[in-house]
Amino acid sequence: MKRLTIFAGVLGALFMISCHGHAAHDGHDEHAEHVDHVDLADHDHGHDHEHEAQEMHEHEAEPTPGHTDEIVLSADKARAAGVITETVSAGEFRSVIPASGVILPAANDEATLVASVPGVVAFTRPLAEGSTVDAGERLFTISSENLQDGDPTERAAVAYETAKKEYDRACSLIKDRIISEKEFNTARSNYETAKIAYEAVARAKTAKGVAVVSPMRGSMTACLVKSGDYVSVGQPLARLSRNARLYLKVDVPERYYPSLRQVVAAKFKPSYTDRVYDTEQMGGRLLAVGKSAANTSGYVPVTFEMNADDGMLQGAFAEVYLLAGQRQNVISLPVSAITEEQGVHYVYLQLDEECYRKQEVRLGDSNAERVEIVQGLKGGEQVVTQGAIHVKLASASNMIPAHTHNH
What integer pLDDT is reported at residue 127 of this predicted model? 92
DSSP-assigned beta bridge partners for residue 246:
105, 306
Q: What share of the chain is helix, strand, coil (3-state, %, to 5)?
A: 35, 35, 30
pTM over the 0.75 mark: no
CATH (domain of 311):
2.40.30.170
What integer pLDDT is reported at residue 146 of this predicted model? 73
Residue 60 covered by a domain: no
What integer pLDDT is reported at residue 31 of this predicted model? 41
Do both 171 and 249 map to the same domain?
no
| Domain final residue, candidates 326, 359, 386 | 326
Do both 117 and 217 map to the same domain?
yes
CATH (domain of 224):
2.40.50.100
What integer pLDDT is reported at residue 18 of this predicted model? 44
Identify the helix (H) or strand (E) that includes residue 52: helix 2-61
**Total structural domains within the chain:** 3
| Domain final residue, candidates 288, 308, 326 | 326
Do both 332 and 317 map to the same domain?
no
Do both 185 and 334 map to the same domain?
no
Do both 219 and 118 map to the same domain?
yes
Do both 132 and 280 map to the same domain?
no
Do both 315 and 217 map to the same domain?
no
Do both 230 and 255 map to the same domain?
no
Residue 135 covered by a domain: yes
Residue 249 covered by a domain: yes
| C-alpha torsion sign, points 179, 183, 184, 188 | negative
What integer pLDDT is reported at residue 150 of this predicted model? 67
Per DSSP bridges, beta strands 209-213 and 138-143 are: antiparallel
What integer pLDDT is reported at residue 61 of this predicted model? 35
Do both 358 and 376 map to the same domain?
yes
Do both 310 and 322 map to the same domain?
yes
What integer pLDDT is reported at residue 295 of this predicted model? 64
> Measuring CA to CA, which residue among 215, 239, 272 is closest to residue 128?
239
Residue 47 covered by a domain: no
CATH (domain of 333):
2.40.420.20
* Long-range contacts, stretch 355-364, CB < 8 angstroms, 24+ apart: 355/67, 355/70, 355/71, 355/72, 355/403, 355/405, 356/70, 356/71, 356/72, 356/73, 356/384, 356/391, 356/394, 356/395, 357/67, 357/69, 357/70, 357/71, 358/69, 358/71, 358/392, 358/395, 363/338
| Domain final residue, candidates 326, 351, 377 | 326
Do both 130 and 191 map to the same domain?
yes
Residue 38 covered by a domain: no
Dihedral angle over CA of 126, 218, 213, 144, nearest 10: 50
> Measuring CA to CA, which residue among 185, 186, 118 is closest to residue 155?
118
Low-confidence stretches of the chain (pLDDT beneath 50):
1-8, 10-67, 399-402, 407
Domain that holds residue 294: 98-106+243-326
